[in-house]
Amino acid sequence: MIKPHGADALTPLFVADEDRRSKLLQEAQALPQVLISSAAAANAVMLGGGYFTPLNGYMSKNDALSVAKRMRTESGLFFPVPVLNLLSELTFSVGDRIALRDPNVEGNPVIAVQRVDSIDEFSKAELEEISQAVYGTLDVKHPGVAAFFDQGNFVVSGSIEVLNFSYFETDFKDTFRTAVQIREEITELGWNNVVAFQTRNPMHRAHEELCKMAMEATDADGCVIHMLLGKLKAGDIPANVRDESIRDMVKYYFPVNSVMVTGYGFDMLYAGPREAVLHALFRQNMGATHFIIGRDHAGVGDYYGAFDAQTIFDTQVPEGALEIEIFRADHTAYSKKLNKVVMMRDVPDHDFDDFVILSGTKVRELLGNGIAPPPEFSRPEVAKILMNYYQSL
């Protein structure tokens, strides 16, 4: 199986030993209590599940600036985005152990215990430098930039011990999986070549066929459909609706035991190219050998070029920095000429009118009116679930 990033084995920071976890929860009650941001809580979940291997906690100011500038920590570890615990106020000192409280669960339970190795402060210019490097913009209309600037400017670094997986394990018990669990399941299935597909949206015919194309091209034993379960921007379809529609699509249109439907607990950054590299790192850590990156991967609005998330692997990711291979996909749509879904680059004889293409606005309008998109665009089982959702709004 493919090795994790920067390590021979995963380094999940979740405290698996029940006695140790119980003692930490008791100890946490007497520690300084710190309500962290949703982004920091999502980072804790990903650290706990092994997705951020080989990190042992939150990055320091110097590491964060180094990662923003050159995608490497000060020690030289390749990493595409800073992994931070940013706060707007401090109630503790360097050397303390602090109890991190989850902002996304009622009652704000302790999600992790952190050792405070350093406390630094970002200047406005440094925050802007990171935003420009990671998101490609300072525009606060960009949802990722707005969330980043809203977290605070105190950088609290140090190792953490994760005590739970926030709401993901309870709200999505059939879907949420750690990198450790996915690796174990891949091993049990006997898969060697594994394609991973990232989604924050329901999957239509084009997505379905793209997974099949990638599996065929890479001679894959299976595909892991890996959906983001954390916070999205306003207007995106909730994770539970996506989950139901994807499972029905897999049930009816993929061979048995060829697809694993899973999810992970992270807030969407909408960071385009940088987030595409982060997504590849996640998938290597969970055991995938190939990762699909298509048009405008992890993008939002018009902040990024259509294929910037692919070209970054040529221009900014050093050779050998990641072992996972990228399957580069073009825009995919149903061809009226060929009566099948194709990648547009493969059919240069086609005109725009030769494809079945619907805008997101048009699809939402149809679904909201109880009208299923054409079967060339969306499977009827998927359309039914989405129609029920939009008509319930």
Do 207 and 197 touch, CB atoms closer than 8 A? yes
- Residue tagged active-site, from 21, 115, 200, 364: 200
Whether 182 is in a domain gets the answer yes
Instruction: Give the per-residue pLDDT at 361.
Output: 84
Domain end point (choices 166, 201, 235) = 166
- Say whether both 160 and 179 belong to one domain: no
- Say whether both 150 and 224 belong to one domain: no
- Say whether both 223 and 121 belong to one domain: no
Instruction: Give the per-residue pLDDT at 85.
Output: 98
- Say whether both 242 and 380 belong to one domain: yes
Cα dihedral across residues 192, 264, 168, 239: positive or negative: negative
Instruction: Give the per-residue pLDDT at 234.
Output: 75
Tell me how far apart the alpha carbons of residues 393 and 377 are, in angstroms, rounded to a whole number: 23
Domain end point (choices 148, 166, 184) = 166
Instruction: Give the per-residue pLDDT at 233.
Output: 75
- Say whether both 258 and 184 belong to one domain: yes
Instruction: Give the per-residue pLDDT at 359.
Output: 85
Percent of the chain with pLDDT over 70: 100
Instruction: Give the per-residue pLDDT at 236.
Output: 80
Whether 336 is in a domain gets the answer yes
Q: What is the pTM of this model?
A: 0.95
Low-confidence ranges of the chain (pLDDT < 50): none
Domain end point (choices 166, 183, 210) = 166
- Say whether both 36 and 144 belong to one domain: yes
- Say whether both 94 and 207 belong to one domain: no
Residue ranges with strand state E in 22-115: 33-35, 57-58, 86-87, 97-101, 110-115
Whether 9 is in a domain gets the answer no
Q: Which domain holds residue 102?
A: 18-166
Tell me how far apart the alpha carbons of residues 165 and 45 are, in angstroms, rounded to a whole number: 5
Whether 11 is in a domain gets the answer no
Q: Indicate the SS3 state at residue 261.
A: strand
Question: Looking at residue 298, which CATH number applies to its domain?
Answer: 3.40.50.620
Tell me how far apart the alpha carbons of residues 29 and 376 are, in angstroms, rounded to a whole number: 56
- Say whether both 109 and 187 belong to one domain: no
- Say whether both 228 and 316 belong to one domain: yes
Tell me how far apart the alpha carbons of residues 67 and 180 are, in angstroms, rounded to a whole number: 25
Whether 12 is in a domain gets the answer no
Whether 6 is in a domain gets the answer no
Whether 276 is in a domain gets the answer yes
- Say whether both 232 and 371 belong to one domain: yes
Q: Where do runs of H (alpha helix) occur along the chain?
A: 18-28, 38-48, 61-70, 124-135, 143-149, 168-171, 179-189, 205-218, 239-253, 272-286, 308-315, 360-368, 380-392
- Residue tagged active-site, from 56, 108, 153, 201: 201
Catalytic, 56? Answer no
Q: Which residue has the tokens 């399941």?
A: 185
Catalytic, 85? Answer no
Residues 139-170: pLDDT tens digits? 999 999 999 999 999 999 999 999 999 999 99
Tell me how far apart the alpha carbons of residues 322 and 351 are, in angstroms, rounded to a whole number: 37
- Say whether both 66 and 203 belong to one domain: no
Whether 8 is in a domain gets the answer no
Residues 259-274: pLDDT tens digits? 999 999 999 999 999 9
Question: Looking at residue 37, which CATH number applies to its domain?
Answer: 3.10.400.10
Instruction: Give the per-residue pLDDT at 298.
Output: 95
Do 80 and 125 touch, CB atoms closer than 8 A? no
Domain count, the chain: 2
- Say whether both 296 and 388 belong to one domain: yes
